[in-house]
Amino acid sequence: MKDLGTSSMVTIILAVLALLGAEAALWLSYFYAPVQITAGALFVVLPTPGVNTLNLYESHRIFFIHLPSAYATALCCGLCLVGGVMHLLSRSEKWDALTVSASEVGLLAGAITLLTGSFWADYAWGTGRIGSGWNWEPRLTTMLILWLAFAALLALRGAMPNVQARMKLTAVYGILVAPLYPLVQKAIEIGQVSHPRSFSDLLSAPEIGTTKQVATLGLLLAFGAAVALRYSANRLSFQLQKERAA
């Protein structure tokens, strides 16, 4: 139970820092980050002659949620890998709780990444109609596969009544989920894609970089707090199950 007290304290600290970071990110994204100021140019950067540039106007502000959520999804993949490997080595339920918590938060972060990316794609290369930007290109499809992998892990785990078998399955599946995010990253190099290859390809104003860093820190702290909260809840649930079975 000492571990639960420690994780609760970590959750509170992360939540407070995340709240401060989120407030700062919102202020910067609306009052500090510039809007496009010249038709055909991205913010303060003039277009290269002969290159088809993209008019972003106000729509770029969704990136300050989209990008940190993608980074949080990657973090959750890493935590699944650590939790899975450590559980197989130690058979400790705390590592199982970490893998499950990372999967739950990864499912949320992945959903936010997909939704915000789809909303922006409808404007950027779609027709403006909801869903028009989804074109099944490699980056979008692999991200959807990763999200479905998180969902499948949690669904399969819930369908197994045997505790030890459930923990082993979670550990192995968590290890297998981890390499999917690098695949998402490399998918941008497969064929012709609409998705930008990097954030800096579109937005190079210095204010954008500062806002992106603050937003990334704030949202990563928020998702970290969510992982810590779910970790405490999963540990407590396991303890209650043991006491009821005794």
Per-domain residue ranges of the chain:
2-245
Closest among 82, 119, 118, 74 to 100, alpha carbons compared: 82
Span 21-68, pLDDT tens digits: 888 988 988 888 877 544 444 433 444 555 445 556 677 788 889 999
Does the structure show a pLDDT above 90 at 200? no
**Percentage of residues in the chain with pLDDT exceeding 90?**
40
**Considering only CA atoms, which of 104, 142, 134 is closest in space to residue 116?**
134
Q: What is the mean pLDDT of the chain?
A: 82
Written as six digits, the tokens of 126 are 């779609």
pLDDT average, residue stretch 123-142 = 80
3-class DSSP string for 43-107: CCECCCCCCCCCCCCCHHHHHHHHHHHHHHHHHHHHHHHHHHHHHHHHCCHHHHHHHHHHHHHHH
**What mean pLDDT comes out for the span 147-171?**
92
The band of 81, judged by pLDDT with boundaries at 50, 70 and 90, is very high
Residue 48: phi and psi, rounded to 5, are -75, 130
pTM value is 0.85
Is residue 122 pLDDT above 50, yes or no? Answer: yes
| CB-based contact 229:39 (threshold 8 Å) | no
pLDDT of 188:
74
- The pair phi, psi for residue 191, each rounded to 5°, is 70, -170
Give the separation between CA 39 and CA 54, rounded to whole angstroms.
10
Q: What does the pLDDT read at residue 1?
A: 53
The amino acid at residue 158 is: G
